[in-house]
Amino acid sequence: MAGILVYALHDDEGNFNKNSLGAISEASKLASELSSEAAAVVVGDVADDACAGLGAYGAKRVFRAKGASEGLAQPIVDVMAKVIADEGFTYALFGGGLLGFEIGAGLTARLNAGVTMEVTEVKVQDGKLVAVRPVLQDSAVVDVGYVGEPGIIIGRLNAFDTNEVDGASADVVDVDVDLSEWSTKARMITRGEQRGADVNIEDAEILVGGGRGLGEKDNFKLAEDLADALGGAVAATRAVVDAGWYPYAAQIGQTGKTVAPKLYLAAGISGAIQHKVGMQNSESILAINKDPNAPIFEFCDLGVVGDLHKILPKLTEAVKAKKGG
């Protein structure tokens, strides 16, 4: 039977990733239109109850591979390729994130299958799935169909909303998989290491986001002073987190947090897709950047083309004066 198989990513405590749950809900919705089944794959020793609980998001069956470990893509490619072959799934669907890209790409090679990534919407057309994907910095949107089976769909972060149905429970099916030789040649030493202070940005109503345009680590002080004046917190892009300028806990985007504050003030942030997906639902977006061609100017509400080193200190003073007065 046809069906849609979803990879359900989880952390070391067995908590499933929100984007994976969204992908299961999406698969469930599509499967009912196709009169087929949505199912999920889980790797590692995740408890029966937790696996069965994916039924609440629409998974009818959960294939659990205890023999494969979570966190590295290639063993999971082995698992999913086997389940797809044995059970005849016609699509594999992934929520946003890094592992989904890697597993989906591996399956493409393994199964000689078409892949579409950064997908924001999936449609049913003539009994088949069509992936909708923005391209060229979101300046166009293409509909992509699949030739042959299976089709692999890798969602953009936050593309699929979770939809919980009370009481539903999935059948848990344990699967044994022989790992490919090359899948055993990468080994996780440490997973999910937090770097930098544990800051909370998700509860802030106002966020000042700092990017490479700040120039150097010490200039985050400019963003912090402004955030203090506004009564908000400071967030960061992946580039500056990787560079060690700011804590990982403050990172927005693809492999960081997703936020939707009342105000997002982007200071020296170009607005690459990987960042945009984590903050585009903010109520108001104000961008300050010296590059007039920065993509952020395409989706902000107020864009200021200028030198943030000149603007931020004066803005901080003006905000303080206004609030004090």
258 in contact with another protein (CB under 8 A): no
Minimum CB distance to another protein smaller for 122 or for 172: 122
Residue 186 touches another protein, criterion: CB under 8 A: yes
C-beta separation of 113 from 103 below 8 A: no
Q: Tell me whether strands 206-210 and 233-236 are parallel, antiparallel or unpaired.
A: parallel
Distance in Å, CB of 289 to another protein, minimum? 10
Place of tokens 């946003």: 96
Q: Among residues 47, 49, 88, 109, which is the contact residue for another protein, using CB under 8 A? A: 109
Window of 4-12, 23-31, 47-55, 56-64 that interacts with another protein by CB under 8 A: 4-12
- How many C-beta neighbours within 10 Å does residue 32 have? 13
Q: Between residue 115 and residue 134, which ones bind another protein under the rule CB under 8 A? A: 115-118, 125, 130, 134
| Rounded Cα gap, residues 179 and 171, in angstroms | 24
- Which DSSP string corresponds to 5-31? EEE--B-TT-PBPHHHHHHHHHHHHHH
**Phi, psi (deg, nearest 5) at residue 265:** -105, 110
165 binds another protein (CB under 8 A): no
1 near another protein, judged by CB under 8 A:
no
Nearest-approach distance from CB 99 to another protein, in angstroms = 7
35 near another protein (CB under 8 A): no
Q: From the CB of 165, what's the least distance to another protein, in Å?
A: 25
Residues 223-252 that bind another protein (CB under 8 A): 230, 238-239, 241-243, 248
Residues 46-105 touching another protein, rule: CB under 8 A, are: 71-74, 77, 97-99, 101-105
Considering only residues 260 to 299 of the shown chain, the ones binding another protein according to CB under 8 A are: 262-263, 273, 284-286, 292-293, 297-299
Say if CB 115 and CB 104 are below 8 A apart. yes
Of 1, 35, 136, 203, the one binding another protein (CB under 8 A) is: 136
Whole-number Cα distances in Å, 29 to 236, 252, 298: 35, 29, 32
The pairs formed by 299-308 with CB atoms below 8 angstroms and a separation of 24 or more are 299/138, 299/271, 300/266, 300/271, 308/213, 308/214, 308/222, 308/267, 308/268
